[in-house]
Amino acid sequence: MLIPTVAFFALMLLGAPVAFAIGISGFLFFILDPAMPISIGVQKIATMSQSFPLLAVPFFVFAGHLMNESGITSRLFRFSSVAVGWMSGGLAQVAIVLSTVMGGVSGSAVADAAMEARILGPSMVRNGYGKGFSAAAIPVGSLITATIPPSIGLILYGYVGNVSIGRLFVAGIIPGLLMMTVLMATVYVIARRRNYVVADTARPTFSDLFSAIWGAQWALLFPVALIFAIRGGVFTPSEVGAFAVVYAVLVGFFAHREMTFERLKRAFEHTISDIGLIMIIILMSGMIGFAIIYMQVPQEISHWMLNGISSPQAIVLIILLFLLIAGCFVESTVLVLLLTPIFVPIIKQAGIDPVHFGILMMSIVTLGGMTPPVGVAMFAVCSLMDVKVEEYTVEVIPFIAAVVALIVVLLFLPGLVLWLPNLAFG
């Protein structure tokens, strides 16, 4: 297992595509192990594609693109602007609230961050917000997408770790709202100190707020309908993804009347590109996942980690610290696919609920996408806004500190995460 692991990190450092780095290192394992015919590796690639729960990923990606083309994004932006645009740091507050409500639409932190960088980034700079601050507030705000349903990361974690996706979706609601609150408080403190105040934006009246909510009603209703559909047993998570596609098409054509066949074609094109990228990583990870189990890696690591450590929280803290460091170098989807089979057995043995751990894990690995040296969301926003990574890094520190502090609180107060799923599912 050592040679394939070294090969994987070497290929990543050389700039090879993630899917090829995983695939080559996986095949190396089967080539170097005389007891394993290489045909098993090919079978494991095919087996990863034969999963009904995994259908949720392409469905939700497609639904996200359809909703962007159906006018939902613009209505959510108006709602966020009316609701919090009058506060200190108004446009940054809008970015965070927009990430929260978009979490139930896009399901992807990177897509969310890139969209907001195009919409909000230039306006923030024109209104006197520092470029580094603007670039930092947008991707860290999109971190909320990792927990607010339907999070693609939670779907993959539930699939690989054999954890209820319905419980994960419900469990992500309170942490997502708490993350929104913490990040808004961070923006408020910084904005007050730097006088980032939008003076020409008045506090909204009830009529203004109601009008904004009514305009975004179909988008705001979607995550609520999603949760109730899963809890009521009407749909499985995969079937909810299919329902989301139909929902987005109906809203676009009949409610908002903004969807056209040209926009529908564009949503198809973007979805095919995204799904091809995600699925090849998932398929190639099948070989690595099999090798991890075959070599009894979870048992070895569990023995090492549990030896001499009696506190379950201490074990999870060590795992989260490792994931935070790993997330700075490896994309979150890859970490979820490769490390979930290792860490879920460990935390179960330590007495930690896998739903609780899943929310913490997804938050911390997604945070890696917002940090140097290879954060995908960081580079996307910095390139779109023409901001130096060094300037971004300085400004993002308070936001990262706030998020890490919240994750530690959620670790030691599991009731904040598990109360809703326990209430909904028992």
pLDDT in tens, 237-271: 677 778 888 888 888 888 778 888 888 888 888 88
Residues 6 or more apart whose CB falls under 8 angstroms from that of 183 comprise 96, 137, 140, 141, 144, 399, 402, 403
Q: CA neighbours within 13 Å on the CB side: how many for 317?
A: 11
Question: Whole-model pTM?
Answer: 0.79
pLDDT per residue rounded down to tens, the chain (426 residues)? 566 666 666 666 666 676 777 777 778 877 887 777 777 877 877 777 776 667 777 787 787 778 777 777 777 777 777 777 677 777 788 888 877 777 655 556 666 777 777 777 777 777 778 888 888 888 888 788 778 877 778 888 988 888 888 889 889 889 989 999 999 999 888 888 887 765 446 677 788 788 888 877 787 777 777 777 776 667 776 777 788 888 888 888 887 788 888 888 888 888 887 777 777 777 777 777 777 767 766 667 666 766 667 788 888 898 898 888 877 777 777 788 888 888 888 888 888 999 999 999 988 988 877 877 667 777 777 877 788 878 888 888 899 999 999 999 999 999 999 998 888 776
By the 10 Å C-beta count (0-12 exposed, 13-18 middle, 19+ buried), 193 is classed as exposed
Gyration radius (Cα) of the chain, Å: 21
Angle between helices 56-69 and 152-161 (to 10 degrees): 170
- Among the listed residues 103, 131, 61, 88, the one whose alpha carbon sits nearest the alpha carbon of residue 273: 61
Which position has the token pair 């990870």?
285
Using alpha carbons, list the distances in angstroms from residue 324 to 61, 327, 332: 26, 5, 10
- Among the listed residues 220, 191, 177, the one whose alpha carbon sits nearest the alpha carbon of residue 86: 191
Q: How do residues 42-89 score in pLDDT, each as one tens digit?
A: 787 777 777 666 777 778 778 777 877 777 777 777 777 777 767 777
C-alpha 297/C-alpha 333 separation (Å) is 20
Spatial contact of 67 and 112, defined as CB atoms under 8 Å apart: no
C-alpha 110/C-alpha 100 separation (Å) is 14
- Among the listed residues 7, 57, 107, 50, the one whose alpha carbon sits nearest the alpha carbon of residue 286: 50
